[in-house]
Amino acid sequence: METIYGEGNTTDDSHYLIVYIDGGNLINGIVFDGSDWTYTLSTQSVNDDKWHHVAYVKRASNYYELYFDGVSVDINDTDVSIPNIDDVRIGCINAGGTDWFFNGTIDEVSIFNRDLTREEILDSIY
């Protein structure tokens, strides 16, 4: 797992939101609330030596949406949420005592305190 973005709770080390590249070079999002996992999965490979845009949006009432190059690739409506975030990292997350690093280059990172519309996500790409 190569972490693009990760946030968690260092107090009990059991709550995470992670956007990552899996072993099959696919972009995915995962949320763990200490007991339940929820996944947002893509079928797009990033192993093509090109730049890609990734957006992970948490909408109201724990509705997560994963975008890849401006296209919504998965939506997950779940009860899983992450309380008390106190650790945010770009290119790494420490989960369960293990550091998961990104092997590559990350550019033009933006974090918003509100959910973006599809149009705003498209505008941020170009």
Confidence of residue 83 (pLDDT cuts 50, 70, 90): low
Three-state DSSP string of 14-55: CCEEEEEECCCCEEEEEEECCCCEEEEEEEEECCCCCCCCEE
Cross-strand partners of 124:
none
Q: Are 26 and 43 in contact (CB under 8 A)?
A: yes
pLDDT at 14: 76
Residue of 70, 39, 76, 35 lying closest to 53 (CA atoms): 70
Average pLDDT score over residue span 120-125? 87
Predicted structure pTM score: 0.86
User: CA–CA separation, 47 vs 25, rounded Å?
Assistant: 6
Bridging pattern class, strands 37-45 and 26-32: antiparallel
Count of alpha carbons within 13 Å of 120, Cβ hemisphere only? Answer: 10
Six-digit token string for 17:
């939101």
Higher-scoring residue by pLDDT: 85, 29: 29
Residue 3 has pLDDT above 90, yes or no: yes
Could you say which of 3.10.20.30, 3.30.930.10, 2.60.120.200, 3.30.1490.20 is the CATH number of the domain covering 2-125?
2.60.120.200
DSSP character at residue 8:
E
